[in-house]
Structure 1
Amino acid sequence: MKTSFILAAGLLAALNAQAHIVLEQRTAEAGSYYKATFMLTHGCDGSPTREVKVTLPEGFQRARPQPKPGWTLETQSEKLAKPYETHGKTITEDVRVVTWRGGPLLDAHYDELIIMGRLPATPGKIYFKVEQVCEKGRHDWVAIPEPGKTIRDYKEPAAELTLTPRAEPAAAPATVHKHE
């Protein structure tokens, strides 16, 4: 009986986690390039999705969204508070918002939207705010957990990504020289 309850609670938690727009890969190495794949698993109470708008977290650089047939793609750039260097150029403005419009993606169907970019160099959690607009209704997946809470504490949490420390490159083997 107790085991059945635990299994049922685990299944409900898994289904609840999938009810949100989440990232396919929920951990990545800080400072690396990352393919953010947002999984759309439902519409709005049976209504098809017509628009998805992703606000990128601070420090996400060089965003390159993937076009999707049947959808228009729009990016919105903003002046950066802290410019960065890449390939010998100083970047002072970067993509901050990506919007796909079109479809529609029926409530009973599944799809993915992808943005490639470089992650912040500091380990920790970052959040992608996602607005899902349907023919009737909307979901604003924008809640960022307060200290002591997790995304499970919110009805419409932002998509969470955990940045892990960069792996140190393996040291080259020592070379032994013989002198004769």
Structure 2
Amino acid sequence: MKAIKGSLKTSRVAVTGAAAASAVLFLSVPAFAHVTVQPEGAAAKGDYAVVDFKVPNERDNASTTKLEVAFPADHPLASVMPQPLDGWKVQVTKSKLDKPLTLHGRQIDEAVTKVTWTATGKGIEPGYFQKFPLSVGQLPEDTDQLVFKALQTYSNNEVVRWIEPQKEGQEEPENPAPVLQLSAASSGHHGSTAQDASAQDSTEDTASAASTGTSDTTARVLGVVGIVVGAAGVAYGVLAGRRRTHHA
């Protein structure tokens, strides 16, 4: 009986130890970060936005020296402008479109298909991350998201391909592609700004004209009052003079 109790106690200790070891192993596994894309503010459909590609270094013995971001071919973007970054050289690649885009009333027959950043110095060292900003537009109005594909190259020539799409209802893939979520279209798109400014200028001109008209009317009234007062003064002076002469 004692042997059975001892065996059960030993088994419990073994199970408890295994569970503790598993917990330690789970906690010791690093939380791997991914290459992601987020807007600075809003990324509204039909508008322009500034977006940041956030690139973490996931290696302890190598630096990230290159980032290539491929743009979605099904929703091409005609305008893509990178922000200068110290220690990085940037190249924007454009390609001809099968179907031209209409942007600000004119036809655009090419769009950006890839942006490449190459380190001119140490790059992204272990334990650090880097943001790569882009101004993009106009954002499409017929989709809720834009899926990019990114290649991250390390100084040891290792290439991590962040190109796997997230499928609905499934777990996140090992190397998910960066996804930019688009918000609802704003009340007035980018092009309405000029109309709003024109309307504002028109309102200001009307107010200025009204103000000028009021000032002119006031000046005229004051002028007439001044003339009347002046004439009254002259008449009073003449009458006073006559009275002095008569009494004399």
**TM-score over 0.5 for the alignment?**
yes
Structure 1: 5+ residue runs without aligned partners? 1-11, 170-180
Structure 1 partner of 2:62: 47
Aligned-residue Cα RMSD (Å) equals 2.5
Q: Does 1:108 align with 2:127?
A: yes
Greater per-residue helix proportion? 2
Greater per-residue strand proportion? 1
Where do 1:1-180 residues align within 5 Å? 16=31, 19-25=33-39, 28-57=43-72, 58-102=75-119, 103=121, 104-118=123-137, 119-136=139-156, 137-149=158-170, 153-168=172-187
Q: What is the rounded CA distance, in whole Å, between the counterparts of 1:167 and 1:115 in structure 2?
A: 20
User: Once the two structures are superposed, what CA deviation does each residue of 1:27-64 show, in whole Å capped at 9, x if it has no partner?
Assistant: 62111111110111214454100100011123333111
Q: What is the rounded CA distance, in whole Å, between the counterparts of 2:181 and 2:67 in structure 1?
A: 22
Structure 2: 5+ residue runs without aligned partners? 1-26, 189-248
Which protein has the larger Cα radius of gyration, Structure 1 or Structure 2? 2
User: Once the two structures are superposed, what CA deviation does each residue of 1:84-117 show, in whole Å capped at 9, x if it has no partner?
Assistant: 1223431101211000001421021221101111
Q: What is the rounded CA distance, in whole Å, between the counterparts of 2:60 and 2:164 in structure 1?
A: 20
Matched residue type, 1:116: S
Q: What is the rounded CA distance, in whole Å, between the counterparts of 1:160 and 1:101 in structure 2?
A: 22
TM-score of the aligned structures, taking structure 1 as reference length:
0.75
TM-score of the aligned structures, taking structure 2 as reference length:
0.56
Q: Percent identity?
A: 26
Q: What is the rounded CA distance, in whole Å, between the counterparts of 1:122 and 1:88 in structure 2?
A: 19
Secondary structure, counterpart of 1:69 in structure 2 = coil
Quote the offset at 1:72 in angstroms.
Answer: 1.3
Q: What is the rounded CA distance, in whole Å, between the counterparts of 1:133 and 1:74 in structure 2?
A: 16
